[in-house]
Amino acid sequence: MACATCHIPEHYFTDGRPLPIVATNTSLSELPTRHTPTVVGAALHRWQFWDGRAESLWAQALGPLENPLEHNSDRLAIVRYVLNEYRLSYLQAFPNSESTLPKLERLPEHGSPLSHVAEYQTNWRQLSGEQRSEINHVFANIGKALAAYQAKILPDESRFDRFVDGLNLPTDNQSLSYLDLHEQAGLKLFISEQTGCIQCHNGPLFSNSDFQATLSSAEIIPEREGRVAGIALAHADPFNCRGIYSDAPDSCDELDFAKVNGIELQAAFKVPGLRNVAKTAPYMHDGGFASLSEVLRYYNQAPMHGFSHNELQPLRLQPYQLKQLESFLVALNSELITDAYWLTPPTPPSQGDNS
């Protein structure tokens, strides 16, 4: 499968499914348990994945490539493909790297320290340290190229933004027309103490980029899952900001000072941004809710699950107020600021085409 199998431009770079499809050639019986988040604005978040196990967009891009439930490939095969098909483009993007490229003719076809195929793990262990490092450098650069593309996928301004801009201009009487009275009432609820929405959904993306335990009525979550597991994986990741493949090993404050344990990390997942939230159904980390109205009813009731840590508090809104709040969330819809060129898949290269 490709990245675009799950991150579909027509679906605001999600897949519209509760849970993603799996690679057709995998024999594993397990299934994915996390909903596909949108790529739009992903570069502006501090942490990646629902549990924050990657602290950069480029490190995140590498994970699915070797995940047997996603791309189901392996590190050496990916590096081999890129250098065979896009060598000139690669060298243009990463100059001064030609002398450190792996000598593919001396390497096996497949190899990875993470593969579920025993032969591929054996192939990786039999490589020298220098060969592994050369492969990993190209692999890391592939992640950086993917991240550079994803960083272009950004939301344009919404009607809400134009409404706020107009409020700051004393002569702009048109501002109030950007949101109708129903949506304005929803905005007042959104920023009110009663709902507390902005405690988590604040800032330009309407996300604090933090992790909260709001659970889901459709799932029982082990206490060691979520952020408490994600931060441990982020520290162990050889492609994190402390690794030799990082471009900025001295800029690691987020990772260095992130809390690594505590009850508030248990079953906590990343707060998603709300821009274009009406376009990215279904919702929650497990895709358990099919519509915004379902999510709002869940938050309104805030059912207890008997879990040791739950940050939900009932909103106690009336039905008409829930509709107003939903109307405001829809007003956060916008087009993409991204040039259409980046949203159109290129023609697949012919064999050996290095253009």
pLDDT band at 94 (very low <50, low <70, confident <90, very high): very high
Question: In this prediction, what percent of the chain has a pLDDT beyond 70?
Answer: 90
Listed in sequence order, the residues at least 6 apart from 160 whose beta carbon sits closer than 8 Å to its beta carbon are 178, 179, 187, 328, 331, 332
Angle 82-87-93 from CA coordinates, rounded to 5°: 95
pLDDT in tens, 102-113: 999 999 999 999
Tokens of 309: 């840590």
Bridge-based pairing state of the strands 211-212 and 269-270? antiparallel
Strand pairing partners for 8? Answer: 14
Name the DSSP letter for residue 225.
Answer: S
3-state secondary structure at position 100: helix
pLDDT above 80 (res 353): no
The string of pLDDT tens digits covering residues 167-200 is: 877 766 677 789 999 999 999 999 999 999 999 9
Amino acid at 33: T
Q: Which domains does the chain have, with CATH numbers?
A: 3-153 (1.10.760.10), 159-226+266-330 (1.10.760.10)
Q: Share the mean pLDDT of the chain.
A: 89
For 250, counting Cβ atoms within 10 Å of its Cβ (0-12 exposed, 13-18 middle, 19+ buried), the class is: exposed
DSSP state of 11: G
**pTM recorded for the entire structure:** 0.90
